[in-house]
């Protein structure tokens, strides 16, 4: 990593305004990625499902990229630069290769169900190991002198040194292999897989329409598959194509022909890929939205129950009753925005009906006995006049 040893290469080569804009966008991506992938982790843990959160790039790159962009230079030295580059390549290629493998499995299950249905958890484990090994080859290669790492051309991040192929045949072979096996091949597999899926779905959809109404669950499933296919392809091409084009432009042309701003814009799009996966799940998967909604309601139930436990202090009792009633009123009048569009009133704390009699007895009604002649009656104190209440007290 000899080219990183020069301190001048750690200074930003774009304007300070562009760096501040990049740091701000990275901050937004980081927050959205943590929230989105955190929801995926939560639902995956609750449902024991196979959702795919992607926090590798978020946790390893954004904490270094954001302060460096805002400071207008790389802040963390050569060793951190090397680690940043390795993590960027490793997690980026893992995400990309995993997406490619999943598209292949999906195509196999939809288009060739006789073989696709045989895909088991053991096959999934082998696939995950293969994805990590595949990405590790290209992430570790520059450490073994097959290519090299260095600062990005815009100066506030680190990645593969795209300019070395002009005078290094080994680095040229690395970048050529990287472009073919980590962009062209995955791109081809993803596009072909979802094309075959769309063709299969279209054929089955036409067959179904001959026998049932198009407003069935089968038709909705077909529409969902089409939306997912288009979203995945657009997300993949949007995130990775600009950086691949700019990198090849730098590798096979003179250094001065590639403006640093082009690399900065391409890097922003690559890092925006960390929020695509949660967005696809949230926008196009009703089951995910329903699971998230039910889990959210469960948490609110527990919070309401913890606030509704009786307390020996009279003032605290009143506040607890108010919180309990407010929670009930709020949940009963609010429909879940994550559901399929129908109002679903879950009514937080309603399931804890056994707590209601106890809460109703917290504030007993005060009464007074009134003797009129020989007739004795009992009425609420609040119905007495102020003067009578004062005499009674």
Nearest to 300 by CA among 339, 348, 346, 334: 348
Does some domain include residue 332? no
Residue 273 tokens, joined: 């890929």
Angle at 279 between CA 289 and CA 234, to 5 degrees: 135
Does some domain include residue 22? yes
pLDDT on residue 376: 59
Place of tokens 């990309």: 96
Number of domains in the chain: 1
Whole-model pTM: value is: 0.71
Q: How far, in Å, CA of 82 to CA of 158, rounded?
A: 7
Here the CATH number for the domain that contains residue 53 is 1.20.1070.10
Does some domain include residue 364? no
Read off the pLDDT of residues 177-214 as tens digits, 9 standing for 90 and up: 999 999 999 999 988 988 898 888 877 766 666 665 55
- Greatest Cα-to-Cα distance within the chain, rounded to the nearest angstrom: 117
For 224, counting Cβ atoms within 10 Å of its Cβ (0-12 exposed, 13-18 middle, 19+ buried), the class is middle
Q: Which H or E element spans position 160?
A: strand 158-160
Does some domain include residue 383? no
pLDDT on residue 39: 82
Does some domain include residue 385? no
Are 143 and 4 in contact by the 8 Å Cβ rule? The answer is no
Q: Which residues of the chain have pLDDT under 70?
A: 1-9, 47-53, 205-222, 254-256, 285-286, 288, 307-393
Does some domain include residue 329? no
Neighbours of 275 (CB within 10 A): 23
- The DSSP letter of residue 73 is B
Q: What are the beta bridge partners of residue 369?
A: 378
Q: Which domain holds residue 257?
A: 2-301
Read off the pLDDT of residues 351-362 as tens digits, 9 standing for 90 and up: 333 333 443 444
Q: How far, in Å, CA of 269 to CA of 184, rounded?
A: 18
Neighbours of 48 (CB within 10 A): 6
pLDDT on residue 200: 86
Does some domain include residue 11? yes
Are 116 and 108 in contact by the 8 Å Cβ rule? The answer is yes
Q: How far, in Å, CA of 28 to CA of 33, rounded?
A: 8
DSSP letter for each residue of 359-374 = HHTSSPPPEEEEEETT
Residue 1 tokens, joined: 């990593």
Are 69 and 62 in contact by the 8 Å Cβ rule? The answer is no
Does some domain include residue 352? no
pLDDT on residue 144: 92
């Amino acid at each position: 990593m000899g080219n990183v040893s020069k301190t001048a290469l750690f200074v930003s080569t774009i304007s300070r305004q562009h760096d501040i804009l990049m740091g701000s966008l990275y901050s937004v991506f980081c927050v959205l990625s943590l929230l989105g992938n955190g929801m995926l982790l939560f639902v995956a843990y609750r449902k024991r499902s196979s959702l795919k959160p992607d926090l590798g790039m978020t946790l390893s790159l954004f904490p270094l990229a954001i302060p460096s962009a805002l400071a207008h230079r790389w802040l963390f030295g050569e060793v951190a630069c090397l680690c940043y580059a390795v993590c960027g390549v490793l997690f980026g290629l893992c995400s990309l290769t995993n997406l490619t493998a999943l598209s292949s499995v999906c195509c196999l299950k939809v288009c060739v169900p006789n073989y696709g249905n045989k895909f088991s958890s053991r096959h999934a484990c082998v696939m995950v190991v293969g994805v990590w090994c595949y990405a590790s080859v290209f992430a570790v290669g520059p450490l073994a002198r097959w290519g090299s790492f260095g600062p990005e051309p815009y100066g506030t991040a680190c990645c593969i040194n795209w300019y070395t192929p002009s005078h290094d045949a080994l680095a040229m072979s690395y970048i050529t292999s990287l472009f073919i096996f980590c962009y062209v091949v995955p791109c081809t597999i993803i596009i072909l897989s979802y094309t075959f899926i769309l063709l299969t779905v279209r054929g089955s959809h036409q067959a179904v329409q001959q026998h049932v109404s198009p407003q069935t669950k089968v038709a909705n499933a077909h529409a969902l598959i089409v939306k997912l296919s288009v979203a995945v392809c657009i997300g993949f091409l949007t995130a990775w194509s600009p950086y691949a084009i700019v990198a090849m432009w730098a590798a096979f042309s003179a250094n001065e022909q590639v403006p640093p701003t082009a690399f900065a814009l391409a890097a922003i799009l690559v890092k925006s890929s960390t929020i695509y996966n949660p967005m696809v799940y949230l926008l196009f998967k009703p089951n995910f939205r329903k699971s998230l909604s039910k889990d959210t309601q469960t948490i609110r139930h527990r919070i309401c129950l913890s606030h509704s436990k009786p307390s020996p202090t009279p003032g605290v009792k009143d506040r607890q009753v108010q919180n309990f009633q407010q929670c009930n009123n709020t949940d009963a009048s609010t429909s879940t925005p994550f559901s399929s569009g129908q109002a679903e009133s879950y009514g937080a704390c309603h399931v804890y009906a056994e707590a209601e009699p106890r809460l109703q007895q917290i504030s007993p009604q005060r009464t007074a006995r009134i003797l009129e002649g020989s007739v004795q009656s009992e009425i609420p104190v609040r119905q007495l006049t102020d003067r009578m209440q004062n005499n009674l007290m």
